[in-house]
Structures are given as structure tokens and as C-alpha cells.
Amino acid sequence: MVVGDMEMHTDLLVIGGGPGGYGAAFRAADLGLDVILVDSQWGLGGFCLHAGCIPAKALLHAAELIHDAERAKIMGIGFGPPRIDLAALRAWQQQRIDTMAEALMTLGQKRGILVLRSKARFTGSSAVRLTGAEISAVRFKHAVIATGSRARGLPGVDFTSGGRIMDAGAALALTDIPQTILVANTGYIGLELASIYAALGSEVTLLEQADRLLPTVDADLVVPLQESLTARFAEIVLGAKIEEVVEDAGGVDVRFTRSGTTEQRRADRVLLANGRIANSDDLGLDHTGVNLNSRGFIETDETRRTRDPKIFAVGDVAGGPLLAHKAIREGRIAAETIAGKISSFDVRALPVVVYTNPQLAWCGLTEREARQANIPHAVKKFPWQLSDRAQTLDETGGLTKLVIDPDSGRILGAGIVGRHAEGLIAETALAIEMGALAEDLALTLHPYPTLSETESEAAEIFLGNPMHALPESQ
């Protein structure tokens, strides 16, 4: 057999090994399909595990420890300034990643999935050509595209030459701890990264184009976060429109306009982002019936089938919120559909978590969406200064809010800002998915004293009989 001419046949070809890709591959294999997964960069895990969520969360945990150690001062406990061994921190971070990547590869292997490190391009609706692998082509009955997304560059900005202008992936590599760093246009990922650098000791300047941070998130949830970040960052500039970013040997100059006047800041490093774009452009999709929307994301139906009936698309490349858990679910749905099961993306409470300090999380209907769509709703908030547990943690800046259907009392959405919001949000997600009423949440006995009570207390406020707050006057 001539190497380079080998063609393989498979039931399912998955392109991309991130959460969407391995979600699809694992489920399909478990349903009895032959699966080949092709990933040009990492095998399994994708950007999320190797250069995105996971490295970020590891560093954010480190940042939280630094923050907590410092805060211990108010309890009369002093540790002194942290001594940071950057190489050891990076090695620890990498070790976490490697352990998880290895576990994923084992899970894939045990399922009989063939993982090829290669780049795939469609040559038609049932075949791809591979480059960089000993297999030159794969013919498939179905394919799942899970190639994800990548940072969109900024016109006129060179990310490559000097290395001082970074995207999120480069920032997570943690080359050094710059004296000063400027973070611009980055949404919640930027806030997370800026928090890491601030904890490690960098002076952070944050530029935000909108008039507040996270403009698409309910404003009351962002207020405690903005207060916290204001205290820890050197400067937060709102309404800043970037005009020019120039790198020289010693640093980066960023010129921007704010309410009509031009200003300039200089920093050792700059983290820039301009949203993310779909990795849909280098797949040879013109040889298939797959259709892209105007922003380059692949159009799919509720089973994640594209316009080409043999080809599915899941995760970031299929648009929607760019979240790993959404991608995994979509991958599973595509696999189930391909295996002949009836499946559909039927999620009512897609949870989103921002791992800043304090954390921010929400799911289901937001107050903002309810107002925009003119959906009848009541909003009930339980501020954490009323929570006994928050008092013992000295985390009283938090807030728990519920969006409730005023007629039926059904919980439609929830938003939480504060420590451990990541775990707290799951209870409301379950409540929304189950069609629970505020009464159900209130009558579920929550342990005292915990932060989870803030959810039942918010429900009790709706019912008119809260414990640690006074009933609202009618």
C-alpha cells in the first residue's frame, strides 16, 4: 500500500476534537457506530482544554487563592506578598491539562474511536481529503463538523511579530508577568484574564467600548463585579474606541477615543480581542451542500443537521453562545440523530458562568431578554448582605435574582453574582428545566447556613414570606 493513498471508510467522521467533537464521537461510538475523529492540533480536548477554558480556570483558581490570602488580613491573618514561581505555575497548569487530555484519549480509545492528527477538507458530501496523516482520505456516511472558532484579529494590528500584543490563547501561555497590561474589547474572557494578571501582580488597564462592563448581562449582576474590579485594576476606561495599537521594542502604545477626545495609554503587554469567528473557511465546504450564515457560522436545524443532509455541525462553528457545554450537548444530539434516534436541542436553561471574582452566572430567561421580548415577568432579588453564610465568608456583595412568571409562579430565569455562583446556578437550571414553581424552590429545604439559601429566599420573596428579608409591601 502506497502511503498517502490510503482511504478509509467509516460510519461517522468527526472533524475537530474539542468538546463538540468528542461529545459527538463518544456518543456515536456508544450507539454502535464506527467513528473516526480528525483533529489537526490536539487530538482530543480542543481549544477548550488546551488553550481556553481549562488553562484559564486553573489560573483563575490560583488567582483566587492569592486574593483570598490577601483578604485574610481582615480576619487578622497575614501571609505577606505572594512569591510566584511562574515556571512552576505553568508546569502545574500544564500537568492538569495533560492529565485530562490523557484521560480523554483513553476514553476515546476504549470506545474504539480512531483519532487522526490531520487536517480534513471536504471533497464532496461523503468524503474528505486528509493532510498530514498516513490516511489520505476518509469516506463517511455522516460527518460532524466541530472545528470551533478562533479569535478574530483586529484590522491593522500585528499579533505575531513582537509578542507583546496577545490574543487570549497567548495570554494564557503566561510568558511573563508584565508590569503593566492593557486589556481591551475582550468581553468576559478578557475580564477573566485581566483578573489573573491583576492577581499575579500586573497593573491592569481595562478598555471597554460600551458604557459598562458586559453590556449584554443584566446590569444589577454586573455592578458588584465592576466594583470589585475597579478596586483591583489600575484603571477601567468605559466608552473607549481603539484607534491604533503600535508595538515597539519596549512596549505597546494604544490610542483610543473617548467621548470625542483622543487618549493614549502605554503598557508592557496588550491583550486584544475582537470577538471570535467560526473555523468554517478552510474545510472545503464549497464541495458540500453546507450553508453558512452571513457571519460565517454553519446553519443547522434543531438536530444540528446542515443543509447537506449527511453533514452535521456542532459547537462554536454552528454559532449560538460559544460554550463548551452547549457544544457537548449538540455533539451528542447530532450523534443520536445520526444513529437514528429522535433527538433535538431542547435546552431551556442554558447556563453561562463568568469565572471572575466575584463569579457571575445566569441561566434561562434574563431580565433583559424578558423586557426586550415583552414577556410578563417578575424579578425577585435576594442581596447577599442578608445571607448569614455570605456574612461568615465576608462575601456580602453578591446578589441572587430570579425571573418568575407572575401568573403561574414558574421560574423562568436566574442570575447570580458572588462566590461559587458556578455551582449555585445549577440548582436553578434544574428548576427551570423541570418547570418548577417559585413555591417548589422555596419549599425545598436548603441547608443553613449556605449560599444556596439565597435562591430559596428569592423564591420566598416572590411568595411574600422571606425569612431573612422583610416581606415586600403589597
Write out the residues near another protein by the rule CB under 8 A.
Answer: 289, 293-295, 297-310, 318-321, 326, 337, 340-350, 363-365, 369-370, 372-376, 407-410, 413, 433-435, 437, 439-440
Neighbours of 357 (CB within 10 A): 22
Q: Among 218, 224, 229, which Cα is nearest to 196's?
A: 229
Strands (E), 20-132: 35-38, 114-116, 119-124, 127-131
CB of residue 70 to another protein, shortest distance in Å: 37
Distance CA 4, CA 9 (A): 15
CB of residue 350 to another protein, shortest distance in Å: 5
CB of residue 107 to another protein, shortest distance in Å: 24
CB 457 within 8 A of CB 464: no
Residue nearer to another protein on the CB measure, 326 or 380: 326
Distance CA 63, CA 462 (A): 37
Neighbours of 83 (CB within 10 A): 5
**What is the SS3 assignment for 299?**
coil
Residue nearer to another protein on the CB measure, 24 or 271: 24
CB of residue 308 to another protein, shortest distance in Å: 8
Residue nearer to another protein on the CB measure, 120 or 414: 414
CB 455 within 8 A of CB 446: yes
Residue nearer to another protein on the CB measure, 284 or 320: 320
The label of the residue with cell 480576619 reads 75
Residue nearer to another protein on the CB measure, 129 or 377: 377
CB of residue 305 to another protein, shortest distance in Å: 7
CB of residue 360 to another protein, shortest distance in Å: 17
The label of the residue with cell 462592563 reads 213
CB of residue 284 to another protein, shortest distance in Å: 19
CB of residue 23 to another protein, shortest distance in Å: 16
Exposed e or buried b per residue across 272-293, where buried means at least 16 C-beta atoms within 10 angstroms of its C-beta = bbbebbbbbeebebebbebebe
Q: Which helix (H) or strand (E) holds 411?
A: strand 411-417
CB of residue 410 to another protein, shortest distance in Å: 6
Query: What is the grid cell recorded at 221?
Result: 449582576
Residue nearer to another protein on the CB measure, 65 or 430: 430
The label of the residue with cell 423586557 reads 371
CB 316 within 8 A of CB 278: yes
Residue nearer to another protein on the CB measure, 241 or 295: 295
DSSP string, 209-273: SSSSSSTTS-HHHHHHHHHHHHHHSSEEEESEEEEEEEE-SS-EEEEEEETTEEEEEEESEEEE-
CB of residue 436 to another protein, shortest distance in Å: 8
CB 176 within 8 A of CB 154: no
Residue nearer to another protein on the CB measure, 306 or 359: 306
Residue nearer to another protein on the CB measure, 245 or 292: 292
CB of residue 72 to another protein, shortest distance in Å: 39
Our CA angle for 457, 462, 466, nearest 5°, is 40
For residue 242, the cross-strand partners are 256
The label of the residue with cell 472533524 reads 15
Distance CA 444, CA 325 (A): 27
Residue nearer to another protein on the CB measure, 105 or 350: 350
For residue 292, the cross-strand partners are 298
Residue nearer to another protein on the CB measure, 48 or 431: 431
Residue nearer to another protein on the CB measure, 27 or 164: 27
Residue nearer to another protein on the CB measure, 51 or 431: 431
CB of residue 329 to another protein, shortest distance in Å: 9
Distance CA 141, CA 196 (A): 45
CB of residue 127 to another protein, shortest distance in Å: 16
Query: What is the grid cell recorded at 104?
Result: 480523554
**Pairing assessment for the beta strands 203-208 and 180-184 based on DSSP bridges:** parallel
CB 25 within 8 A of CB 320: no
